[in-house]
Amino acid sequence: MKIGTKAIHAGVKPDPTTGAIMTPIYQTSTYVQAAPGEHQGFEYSRTQNPTRFALQDNLAALENAKHGLVYSSGLGAIDAVMKTLRPGDEVISTDDLYGGTYRIFTKIFEPYGIKFRFVPMDDPQAVSRAMTDATKLIWVETPTNPMMNIVDIRAIVDVARQWNGVRVAVDNTFASPYLQQPMDLGADLVMHSVTKYLGGHSDVVMGALALNDDAWAEELAFIQNASGAVAGPQDCFLVLRGIKTLHVRMQRHCENGAAIAQHLARHPKVEKVYWPGFESHPGHRIAEKQMKDYGGMLSFTLKDDRQEEAFRVLSSLKYFSLAESLGGVESLAGHPASMTHASIPREHRLQVGLTDSLIRLSVGIEDVEDLCADLDQAIG
Which residues sit at the interface with ligand PLP, rule CB under 6 A? 73-75, 98, 100-101, 141, 145, 171, 173-174, 193, 195-196, 205, 207
One DSSP character per residue, 93-150 reads EETT--HHHHHIIIIIIGGGT-EEEEE-TTSHHHHHHH--TTEEEEEEESS-TTT---
Q: Which of 26, 98, 274, 294 is catalytic?
A: 98
CB of 174 to ligand PLP, least distance (A): 6
- CB 127, CB 92: distance < 8 Å: yes
CB of 55 to ligand PLP, least distance (A): 15
| CB closer to ligand PLP, 96 vs 152 | 96
Q: Which of 6, 52, 115, 196 is catalytic?
A: 196
Q: Which of 46, 66, 241, 272 is catalytic?
A: 46
How many whole angstroms from its chain centre is CA 341? 17
196 is catalytic: yes
CA separation for the pair 253, 100 (Å, rounded): 24
CB of 19 to ligand PLP, least distance (A): 34
SS3 label, residue 8: helix
- Rg, C-alpha atoms of the chain: 21
CB of 206 to ligand PLP, least distance (A): 6
Residue with CB nearest ligand PLP?
A: 74
Torsion of CA 353, 359, 365, 368, to 10 degrees: -100
98 is catalytic: yes
One DSSP character per residue, 285-307 reads HHHHHH-SS--SEEEEEESS--H
| CB closer to ligand PLP, 352 vs 372 | 352
197 is catalytic: no
| CB closer to ligand PLP, 204 vs 314 | 204
CB atoms within 10 A of CB 125: 11
| CB closer to ligand PLP, 23 vs 362 | 362
CB of 105 to ligand PLP, least distance (A): 12
| CB closer to ligand PLP, 52 vs 263 | 52
171 is catalytic: yes
For 285, residues 6+ apart whose C-beta sits below 8 A from its C-beta are none
Q: Which sequence positions are flagged as catalytic?
A: 46, 98, 171, 196
